[in-house]
Amino acid sequence: MPHLAQPYDYNALASSLLNKLLPILGRDAVIQTSYSIRELELTTASPNRTHRTNRTNEVDSRLRGNDSKNGNYISVKVVRGDSQVVFDQLVEEFRELSPFVVEKVMGELHEEQEGN
Amino acid sequence: MNEVLLISIAVNFALAALVVFFSFKDEHKKNLLTNQQRQLSRTLYEVSILNQVSEKIEGARDYPSIAQTIALTIEQLMEVTTVSYAIRENDEILAKTYTDDNVTDNYLKQVDGLMRDSMEAMDSDIRLLHVKHEVTRSDIKTHSSRPIDTFAGSIFHIPLVFHNTYYGVITVTNKTPNKYVKADMEVLYKIVRQTERSIERLEEVVTSEKGKLDALVVSLPSGAILLSLDTNGYLALSTINHAACDFLGIPPTADATRVIASLGTSHDFVRLIKDVMRDKTSMMLPEVPIKDKFYKIFLNPVFGYDANTIIGVNVTLQDVTREKELDQLKQTFTSMIVHELRAPLVSIKGASMLLMGNSLPPEEEKKMLGTIKVSVDRMLNQVSDLLDSSKLEAGKFDISLSKGNINSVITDRVNILNYDAETRKVHLESKLDPSMPEFEFDPERMGQVVNNLISNALKFTKAGGTVTVKSCVENGFAAISVQDTGVGIPDDKKALLFSKYSQLESIAKSKGTGLGLYISKGIVEAHHGKIKLDSEVGKGTTVTVMIPLHQEKKEADQSSSASKVPEPITIPVHHLPGHPGNVVVN
């Protein structure tokens, strides 16, 4: 797996990760897996305001309401602990589900970070 | 009193604390047990699902079937509105959704879109492929009394990856939001990953076994061809080994049509292959002419893993040209022996009848008696040759060793055959090494060998030619060679020359059984010696006999040496083991 070197905005990285995984693994797989990490707070993003929530159905309904072709569906914020450690934990959770998919998505993230 | 009250309260508190403590402890224990029980149930659940999946998949290696099996297993495990799979197969996407009659087309369209999004996110090239989406209704009970025409409330996709390559996705939806908890999904992802690993292991085993078989097939001296049915039901060439390419004169890249055409026109091979596949029985063609050779051809059906489905035909070719030649030689030999024995008998009968008439003058009577004697001697020689060859075959050929001078044996034979040489106008000469030491050999049998070699040389040398008999000492051996300036022996005849039934065409026209060289070889080998042949067509032939000057063992070894004489050439009889239903065509 390509390693992401410091310093990075792990909240942004986690958001990118989830939004890349969202169409591949589906809403429930992404949201339920993310919620298993307590240090994370999941929010949905819209152009004007951020809805902060920890309830799946609320995130889910907002996801449905958004246009899938415009921007991110989900924003993620690490609310406790070391953001890198929490990010790595999130990656491992998804790796448990599908290592191949996580490898591909992390590769894309790495390329994007290099590009930036 | 207060003290008593205080003590009583304190005791009560202590008791209450103990009760609380133990009840917490009990609760903790209960939770622990419940968790363990839950963990155990979950493990058993996973094992049972994996068993189900592996039983259903069995040896299947086609990914759409595997995806279908997993999808149907999921449908049995959890409440779903739809369960679908989409998998890349060649240049299209095969998709299938299982649902019931309550689900509307709009809902299904949404599922189709979700699957496409998932696949395209993994591989952007997929958007260019044609999707063949089939819907099977009523396999699933959604328990809904009203048509389901809403957004999918719960969705998750399970990517299918085999050998590190993305092939497709399994998609599960439910009309109800938040239907699936993480643990449910984890189990399914785990099942799919285990299945992927099992398939990969199966493929590794299959690849490894195929590699071993290919190596075996390639190294076979027989021609081996495997024609398999492709997905369209046409025969395609799967494997052809070097021997088959050599036999048929085709490159390994030839296609099935060319391979079948190269089998010749003696049989309708297309029809025969169809017959083998239809009847599921093997077939053997004993003698098929291909180019300038003959082959025994076996056609065997090849069964799939279920031992009932035919997946192709195996064609095996065995070169039987030499066996056929030997068969021919045997037939010629038998006719020749009968003829050879009959000819002197006719002479004897004629001479006897004339003698019985008592009308011949004494000189003529003497001539007739001479004719009878010559005929009887000829028959005796022929019968002796036949007996010797039988002894050689039976391993009962004995030699009687005694110390002697091989040069004098050679000289005796040269003197006897000089008359024959003069008649043929062939110059017979001998160049013998005077320093040749005495050694142990069977003088009568070695005389027979020298006689055979010189006689053969004379037969094959035209008038004006020369036959030279030499002797010398060479590396502890007495080397006796007979060299002629005759017609020479073609390369393809050399191998058969010392065999029992060998007889060159020109010999066949002359008198004799043709067993001379076969018997000579047996005699030489009984002496622990060797016999070799050098010949060039048009230039002549040299046959050299090497007899060791020191026999390692004497009397005790003489009988055993006879068992070391050359094995008779056997004609192999081929069977098809395990195929009692073989059909012989022809």
The pLDDT, as a whole number, for residue B582 is 31
The pLDDT, as a whole number, for residue B569 is 33
Q: In angstroms, rounded to a whole number, what is the distance separating the alpha carbons of residues A39 and A28? A: 19
Helix (H, G, I), strand (E, B) or coil at B31: helix
Buried b (16+ CB within 10 A) or exposed e, B407-416: bebbbebbee
Q: Which of B156, B164, B182 sits opposite A26 (nearest CB)?
A: B156
Q: In this complex, is the C-beta atom of A101 within 8 Å of any C-beta atom belonging to chain B?
A: yes
B159 contacts A24? CB cut-off 8 A: yes
B117 contacts A28? CB cut-off 8 A: no
Q: Which of residues 366-425 of B touch A (CB under 8 A)?
A: none
Q: In angstroms, rounded to a whole number, what is the distance separating the alpha carbons of residues B40 and B35? A: 8
- Asked whether the beta carbons of B506 and B541 are under 8 A apart, the reply is no
Q: Which of B115, B155, B187 to mutate to test the interface with A (most CBs of A within 10 A)?
A: B155
Helix (H, G, I), strand (E, B) or coil at A27: helix
B121 contacts A27? CB cut-off 8 A: no
The pLDDT, as a whole number, for residue B169 is 94
The C-alpha R_g of chain B, in whole angstroms, comes to: 45
* pLDDT (mean) for A38-42: 83
Q: Which helix (H) or strand (E) holds B154?
A: strand B154-162
Q: Residues in chain A, how many?
A: 116
Per-residue CA distances from B148 to A40, B81, B142 (Å)? 34, 9, 9
Among B504, B511, B553, which residue's Cα sits nearest to residue B528? Answer: B553
Q: Which of A36, A57, A104 sits opposite B182 (nearest CB)?
A: A36
The pLDDT, as a whole number, for residue B50 is 58
Q: Give A41-94 as a DSSP string.
A: EEEEE-SS-EEE---HHHHHHHHHHS-TTSS-SEEEEE-SS-HHHHHHHHHHHH
Q: What's at B398, amino acid-wise?
A: D
Q: Which of B122, B151, B156 sits opposite A29 (nearest CB)?
A: B156
A60 contacts B178? CB cut-off 8 A: yes
Cβ atoms within 10 Å of B265's Cβ, excluding its own = 9
3-state SS of B265-334? CCCCHHHHHHHHHHHCCCEEEEEEEECCEEEEEEEEEEECCCCCCEEEEEEEEEECHHHHHHHHHHHHHH
The pLDDT, as a whole number, for residue A51 is 43
ipTM of the complex: 0.82
Query: How far B207 CA lies from chain A's nearest CA (Å)?
Result: 23
The pLDDT, as a whole number, for residue A112 is 85
- Asked whether the beta carbons of B310 and B303 are under 8 A apart, the reply is yes
Q: In this complex, is the C-beta atom of B127 within 8 Å of any C-beta atom belonging to chain A?
A: no
| pTM for this prediction | 0.48
The pLDDT, as a whole number, for residue B302 is 83
Q: In angstroms, rounded to a whole number, what is the distance separating the alpha carbons of residues B287 and B324? A: 9
Cβ atoms within 10 Å of A88's Cβ, excluding its own = 13
Q: Which of A23, A32, A64 sits opposite B121 (nearest CB)?
A: A23
Q: Which of B156, B159, B178 sits opposite A101 (nearest CB)?
A: B159
Tokens of A95: 């790796």
Please give the residue of chain A at the shortest CA–CA distance from B118.
A24
Per CB-CB distance under 8 Å, the chain B contacts of A35 are: 182
A32 contacts B185? CB cut-off 8 A: yes
Contacts of A19 (CB under 8 A, 6+ apart): A72, A73, A74
The pLDDT, as a whole number, for residue B422 is 92
Q: Which residues in chain B come in under a pLDDT of 50?
A: 1, 18, 22, 504-509, 554-586
The pLDDT, as a whole number, for residue B542 is 94
Tokens of B122: 């993994």
Q: Which of residues 4-43 of A touch B (CB under 8 A)?
A: 20, 23-29, 32-33, 35-36
Q: Give B86-126 as a DSSP string.
A: EEEETTEEEEEEEE-TTB-HHHHHHHHHHHHHHHHHH-GGG
The pLDDT, as a whole number, for residue A50 is 43
A28 contacts B155? CB cut-off 8 A: yes
**What does the mean pLDDT of chain B come to?**
79
Q: Which of A28, A32, A97 to mutate to test the interface with B (most CBs of B within 10 A)?
A: A28
The predicted-structure confidence for A59-94, as pLDDT tens digits, reads as follows 555 455 444 444 456 778 888 888 889 999 999 999
The pLDDT, as a whole number, for residue B563 is 38
Query: How far B202 CA lies from chain A's nearest CA (Å)?
Result: 20
- Asked whether the beta carbons of B400 and B442 are under 8 A apart, the reply is yes
A97 contacts B185? CB cut-off 8 A: yes
Q: In angstroms, rounded to a whole number, what is the distance separating the alpha carbons of residues B439 and B406? A: 8
Q: In this complex, is the C-beta atom of B22 within 8 Å of any C-beta atom belonging to chain A?
A: no
The C-alpha R_g of chain A, in whole angstroms, comes to: 13
